[in-house]
Chain A
Amino acid sequence: MQNLLAPGHRACAGCSMPIVIRLVLDAAGPNTIVVSPTSCLEVTTTPFPESAWEVPWIHSLFENAAAVASGVEVVMKRQCKDTNVLVIGGDGSTFDIGMGSNSGMFERGHKITYICYDNEAYMNTGVQRSGSTPFCAITTTTPAGELSLGNPRPKKDMPAIALAHGVPYVATASIAYPVDLRKKVKRALQVKGPSYIQVNAPCITGWTYDTGNTIEIARLAVETGLLPLFEYLNGELGEVKKIRRPKAVDEYLKVQGRFRHLYKQPGGAEIIKSIQEIANRNIEKYKLVD
């Protein structure tokens, strides 16, 4: 395995984000330039005067990673270099504040592979709700309370937005399936245009679970059907990862602090049922179970 992310970075013990980076860079190799928005990734890997990145890397602002990457990509194209240009950024930047910038990059057709490590909230600033936060998850801005069962809105379907832009390669991936993730990154890098891969990234601090369980929780997300692992090539659904032994969403929810209120508060059981329905719909739509 190529180790293009050095140790000594400040990510929490057991954080999924460095695992995402290591796997992505292993697939992409050293002939790569990475652009990142403001994020946990950025602050933990590049505290001046240190950097964990063994490839060229640039951070500009929170909402413009795709735009900055566009500028890098046109220069690589101009110089006839086959250097990979990647964006690796969090969900806050990808789903929300960077939407305009992402939309522009997608529709201009730059050869950029956009990897969103999705920990389903604004984690860098202390766990606030983002457009990616799932239904009824607790965050500091969607806490549980007398009048609240957590985030009242469903998760934004960012892969669908990428598809609507005609992005030729759109996929979801998981660190619990590293071979699949690496394969998808390699496929994305071959595309002569933009590609989007959303990688589920459990967060110990935000989702509240024990540090050693990161991969386990990522696996449960897939095994329950809540996180279908699929790829779309030129708008057509391609391979999906089948679930051999599907699990009830309960197994995924009960091990995370951000859903624990559903087991205590009135109305929680209904919510768990509706989350199960989301999983069931995914299983049906993508034919995840044979």
Chain B
Amino acid sequence: MIKAGELVEPGSTRITKTGAWRTFVPVIEHDRCIKCSLCEIYCPESCIHQEKGLFVPDFEYCKGCGICSHECPRKAITMILEEK
């Protein structure tokens, strides 16, 4: 596993599911969404992506920071306390 010189494969942090960190989880009301894509642009985890035209967070990685909710111009994203 250890390669001399500490070389590491690209994108390999995907193995760590930072979704386990969160307390709050974003809920997107797709009816209110105007597809401005600001949530995708601002997400620090690169985990909001488009799926069949809808903006969807990847809950494996979402840390629940709330930036998407705070910045959504249509208040289409709400942060709720996640039931675990």
Contacts and interface: CB of A to CB of B under 8 A. Distances in A.
Contact of A8 (B1, B8, B14): B14
Given A8-B15, A13-B63, A212 B69 contact: yes
Given A50-B8, A54-B11, A213 B70 contact: yes
A214 B45 CA distance: 14
A52 interface: yes
Interface residues of A, number: 38
Contacts of A6: 10-14, 46
Interface in B21-73: 21-22, 37, 40-47, 49, 58, 60-61, 63-67, 69-71
B11 A49 contact: no
A52 B13 contact: yes
Given A10-B18, A14-B63, A52-B11, A212 B44 contact: no
Interface range, B side? 35 or more
B63 A8 contact: no
B18 A214 contact: no
Given A7-B18, A54-B11, A211 B46 contact: no
Interface in A185-223: 210-216
Contacts of B41: 1, 22-23, 178
A36 B38 CA distance: 27
Contacts of A70: none
Contacts of A51: 8-13
26 contacts: A6-B14, A7-B61, A8-B13, A8-B15, A9-B13, A10-B13, A13-B21, A14-B63, A14-B65, A18-B44, A19-B42, A19-B44, A45-B13, A49-B1, A49-B8, A50-B13, A50-B15, A51-B12, A52-B13, A53-B10, A54-B10, A175-B42, A212-B65, A212-B79, A214-B67, A215-B42
